Every structure is written in C-alpha cells, then in structure tokens.
Chain A
Amino acid sequence: MSKVIGATIKYIGTDPSEHPYLAGCNVRIVAVLRAGDPDDADHYVTDDDHLARLGGLTAGDRVEVQPWLAKEGRFSFVGSDPRVCDLEGFETLVG
C-alpha cells in the first residue's frame, strides 16, 4: 500500500459544494475518514498500518488535509475534509 498519511497531493476538485477554496492547493493528508459503514473504531484512521489492515484507501473515502501555505512555508493548522476523488492522481494512493 502506498504511503497515505503524510502524503502531499494537489486538490483538483471543481464541485462548488465541496472545498473550492482548496483549488490548486497542495494538501497534506493527516487522516482518513472511511466511507461506508465501518466499525466506529475504524472510521477515523491516522496511521498507515491501521489503514492497511482495513484494506487501504478507497476512492469513496474522505481525507482530513492541511493545505500548504507557501507564503508562510508551512502547512495550515486549519483542516478540511475533501473527497479522495478530488485529489490529483488519487489512484496511486488507493488500495
């Protein structure tokens, strides 16, 4: 399984009801919010080993991300929770 937690990837979503303020931003994945009906203990996942035991990331999941603030040279403290399918090249992270 590819490294998911800590991966940096570009947000390319265009759905205005999602996270338009992230358009074009590089974001760092800090957690996975699993889709479907997982056990409560397996809904919010913050490490890759746990995620791997659950079968890895799926295209239907959401992820908690922190956008990169280029001017400040750091990731934002403010998180967002976009869909995996709105991340550029997400296929490389799935499975």
Chain B
Amino acid sequence: MSIALRILVCDDDPVIGRAILRTLAALGHQVSLVTDPNVVVDRARRSTLATDVLVVDVMMNDTDGPALARDVMRHGAIGVVFVSGFDPDSLRDRGIDTDAWPFVQKPFSRAALEAAVVEAWARRKASAVVGA
C-alpha cells in the first residue's frame, strides 16, 4: 500500500468493527473505531472528525450507513465505504441505496476492503478537485 489513510470505522457490532479495524491497520492505515453513529455526526459537526475515509456498516440499530454518510457530508467532504452482510439488491429492496460509494459485502476479504478504501479516497479527492 502506498498511502496511509486516516480511517474511521463505525459499526454497532464491536466484534466485527474491531475485525475491520485490525484488517485495515494491518494494511498500514491509521484506524479508529466507534460503535455509536451519533459520535461520528457529533465529531463532523464540531469539525473534529480528522478522517479521510469513513467505513460504515449499512444496517445499524439507530440509523443506516447511507443516512449517516449524508449527515457527515453536510459538514465536509469525506470518502465513504459501505459494509454489510446484505447484498446491494437486498438493501435496495429495503429502500437503502448504497450506489453512491464503494460497497463491501461481509464476510470481507482484506483485498476487497483495501480496494474499496482506496476507491473511496480517490473519489473523495476527485470531488475536491471538481469542487475547487
């Protein structure tokens, strides 16, 4: 891997969240984990997120990943990766659209997670150039 990104993992299952964190840490990224999506929104609102890419579980108890991503991006640009045990079609059937950002289905491979993170970061950078 050529770039170490600051990655925030948000998953309300701490065991799986920790698995994602450790997988990304093994790739050289600087990773932290939160299990409460409200913490992510609060940090974004206070401009203390300090994150390049948000890796977020799609189906959480109090919210869903795309809704959280939209809340966060109202406060600033960020790369996003959606992670779920559901496939995108099943999520769409439930009214949740994950098309806007890279998607990784659980169980995830290290390669798939890394590719998604890199793609999310590239999209984030491209959007910054367009918006400049």
Assign chain B's interface to a size class: 20 to 34
- Kindly list chain A residues whose C-beta atoms are within 8 Å of the C-beta of B86: 77-78
Q: Please give the residue numbers on chain B whose beta carbons come within 8 Å of chain A beta carbons, in ascending order.
A: 13, 15-16, 18-20, 22-23, 25-26, 59, 84-87, 90, 106-110
Contacts of B109 in A (CB 8 A): 46
Asked whether, in the complex, the Cβ of B107 is within 8 Å of the Cβ of A40, the reply is no
Q: How many residues of A contact B (CB 8 A)?
A: 17
Residues of A within 8 A of B84 (CB): 77
Query: Does the CB pair B13–A81 fall under 8 Å?
Result: yes
Given A62-B15, A64-B16, A64-B106, check contact A43 B87 (CB 8 Å): no
Q: Which residue of A lies closest to B109 (CB)?
A: A46
Contact A79 to B85, CB < 8 A, known contacts A30-B106, A33-B15, A64-B107: yes
- Looking at the assembled complex, report how far the CB atom of A76 sits from the nearest CB atom of chain B, in whole angstroms: 8
Contact of B22 among A43, A46, A76, A77 (CB under 8 A): A43
A-B pairs with beta carbons under 8 Å apart, 9 shown:
A30-B107, A31-B107, A44-B19, A44-B22, A64-B19, A77-B87, A77-B90, A79-B85, A81-B13
